[in-house]
Structure 1
Amino acid sequence: MTTGLIVLQPDDAWQVAMLHAAAFPDPWSAAAFRDLLSESTSLGLGLEQHGALAGFILIQTVVGEADILSVATRPDLRRTGIASRLLHALLARLGERGVARITLDVAEDNPGARRLYESFGFSVDGRRPGYYTSGRDVPVAAILMSKSLSL
């Protein structure tokens, strides 16, 4: 599999939105991604395979902290290491932005993602009951996780 890491730009918003729609039942619009990717406080990284976006990670930073807003891998490429590679690349770049802590929330019914974050040293901080509702008959909790980074 040939993949290349790219820094996502506002012009990539339509590709990001298409991948997000394939990965989640409640997709964000291309306009929302364009706005986020235009912000100096945001950073989006993508992995391309044969010229197409195979996965992405998007964060927003505020005063020494980063929050992972979304991570998605093309459904047919899940469990091939794309999300792991994106997370590794992201963590390597956060020091440049003065980030000392990174946070995220993940659906309680997504054990694969939870294992991924735990393998990178994220720990559970709490739980938001009923946070995720889209595409589910019964809402599920968000698991809040974080990781301290050494600068």
Structure 2
Amino acid sequence: MTGRERLSQTRLLEALRAAEPTDADAIAALQQASFDDQWSADSVARLLSGPANLSVVAEREGRLLGFLMGQCVVDTAEVLAVAVDAEVRRAGWGAALLTGFERVASVSGAERVILDVAADNGPALALYTARGYETVARRDRYYASGRADPVDALVMAKNLAI
């Protein structure tokens, strides 16, 4: 499979599984390669071990291709971070991770999903909008780490079909 090859949604979803604390090092490495605000493997392991954890990973042949760190509290699931390896971006992995997370969240009792996204992150905004997320709030100058000028965060939400 080449990095940009698009696979069917079914094949993508088949590569998903629940994230486990043993994934912490690989998730932290991908998170650090993807974001300025970096998480340690210890902090990732704590999130993955928590009672609210609903995180998922995309994996092929033992290689972590992407992750979605999330949690669910009562009836609301929250996406904390999503990243896809640069070599396989634009192949549908982000959408597959989001779909997998939504399914797990719904089964766990979530009625809606919320997330924050940088207002200047066009690819993420396109993905979330296409998946039915709507902007419900704005956090001024929320993303500042590693940026010359802070960027607003858009708070987006989607109601899950029950």
Same fold (TM over 0.5): yes
2:110 aligned to 86, 99, 109, which one? 99
1:6 is matched with 17
Distance in 2 (CA, whole Å) between partners of 1:134 and 1:108 is 15
Q: Do the aligned residues in 1 keep the contact of 2:54 with 2:104 (CA within 8 Å)?
A: no
Relative to its length, the structure with more strand (as a share) is 1
Q: Which residue matches 1:71?
A: 82
Mapping 1:1-151, distance limit 5 Å:
1=1, 4-151=15-162
Shift of 1:48: 1.0
Report the CA distance between 1:49 and its aligned residue.
2.6
Residue 135 (structure 1) shift? 2.0
Residue aligning to 2:5: none
Root mean square deviation, CA, Å: 1.3
> CA offset at residue 128 of structure 1?
0.6
Percent identity, please: 39
**2:44, 2:115 → 1: CA distance?**
18
Displacement after TM superposition at 1:38 (Å)? 0.3
Q: Is the 8 A contact 2:117 2:154 kept in 1?
A: yes
Q: Which runs of 5+ in 2 are unaligned?
A: 2-10
Letter in 2 for 1:112: P
Distance 1:92 1:36 in 2: 19
